């Protein structure tokens, strides 16, 4: 039977999963892949829609009863956090130092980016949050429809083109506050449908092949890269595919635990058992 897989069309995901999707991982079943933004996969995973699925770490408290967290294949690292963008000096927009009273566009209400934003802005929250398709956030801030926008991924490399300024790098804030990497996207295996040990092996082999022959996935990555320039694609992969992609390790699991514990203590997510959140065999 084919394995149903849901990932984003972003270069880091297509690079990592190229070998698995194309039947190049020995012993892995054939794969039927769906491409969707993480806000969509977060919701689909609540319905148990996929056997393997990329979700936000922030969504784990709602998903771990039905899914195993795999220790590989996800997006976690340093220097790769979400940005809060505003219009800056010289663009006619307000020069903000905080977001009190502001309207902020975010890419999803259960994304890790938004959870980090809520932790950062606690005590001085914006007046209004609007969930907006990712590609509309930067143009919307530049046009004045939103006072600020929360962005991820390739926006780190392109926001200057919209005349925007980074009010805060939430990754830098998180790392300075915790000393831990930023846990962004996780790979989950559906309980009762996929053996998590086998799935972790398939994903790790796909990662190994991606690093061993980066050119093999180039056409596939570019076909799904939503018109990104080649330089942006390469920088995207270089930033988000790293040692934590092959194995979360002690630091990665500590980052996941810290994020979910802090969010639960703040009343932002349900309390999650640390053993369930950090042990993929649980």
CA distances from 79 to 103, 171, 172, 217, 265 (A): 26, 6, 7, 25, 25
Q: Is the dihedral of CA 107, 110, 113, 115 positive or negative?
A: positive
212 is in an annotated binding site: no
52-56 and 103-106 beta bridge pairing: unpaired
The yes-or-no answer on residue 162 being catalytic is no
Token couple for 210: 């991606």
Q: Is 38 among the annotated ligand-binding positions? A: no
Closest CA to 25 of 243, 199, 241: 199
The C-alpha torsion from 185 through 83 and 268 to 281, rounded to 10°, is 20
Q: Is residue 112 marked as binding?
A: yes
Q: Given the DSSP bridges, would you call strands 52-56 and 182-190 parallel, antiparallel or unpaired?
A: antiparallel
Contact assessment for residue 75 and residue 185, using Cβ atoms and an 8 Å cutoff: yes
Q: Is 217 annotated as a binding residue?
A: no
Residue 54 annotated as binding site? yes
Query: Are the C-beta atoms of 16 and 241 separated by less than 8 Å?
Result: yes
The residue annotated as part of the active site, out of 153, 160, 224, 236, is 153
136, containing H or E segment? helix 134-142
Catalytic residues: 153
Residues in the annotated binding site for substrate? 54-56, 112-113
Residues in the annotated binding site? 54-56, 112-113
């Amino acid at each position: 039977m084919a394995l149903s897989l849901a990932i984003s069309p972003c270069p880091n995901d297509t690079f990592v999963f190229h070998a698995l999707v194309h039947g190049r991982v020995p012993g892995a079943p054939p794969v039927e892949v769906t491409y969707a933004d993480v806000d969509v996969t977060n919701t689909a995973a609540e319905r148990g829609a996929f056997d393997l699925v990329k979700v936000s770490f922030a969504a784990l408290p709602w998903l771990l009863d039905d899914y195993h967290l795999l220790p590989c294949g996800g997006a976690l690292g340093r220097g790769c956090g979400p940005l809060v963008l505003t219009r800056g000096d010289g663009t006619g927009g307000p020069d903000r130092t905080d977001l009190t009273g502001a309207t902020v566009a975010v890419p999803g209400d259960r994304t890790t980016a938004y959870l980090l934003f809520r932790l950062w802005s606690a005590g001085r929250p914006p007046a209004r949050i609007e969930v907006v398709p990712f590609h509309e956030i930067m143009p919307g801030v530049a046009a004045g429809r939103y006072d600020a926008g929360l962005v991820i991924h390739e926006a780190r490399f392109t926001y200057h083109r919209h005349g925007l300024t980074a009010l805060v790098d939430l990754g830098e804030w998180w790392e300075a506050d915790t000393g831990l990497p930023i846990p962004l996207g996780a790979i989950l295996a559906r309980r009762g449908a996929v053996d998590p040990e086998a799935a972790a092996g398939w994903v790790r082999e796909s990662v190994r092949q991606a690093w061993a022959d980066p050119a093999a996935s180039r056409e596939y990555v570019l076909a799904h890269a939503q018109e990104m320039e080649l330089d942006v694609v390469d920088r995207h992969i270089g930033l988000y595919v790293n040692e934590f992609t092959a194995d979360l390790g002690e630091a990665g699991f500590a980052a996941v635990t810290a994020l979910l514990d802090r969010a639960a203590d703040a009343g932002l997510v349900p309390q999650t058992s640390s053993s369930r959140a950090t042990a993929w065999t649980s």
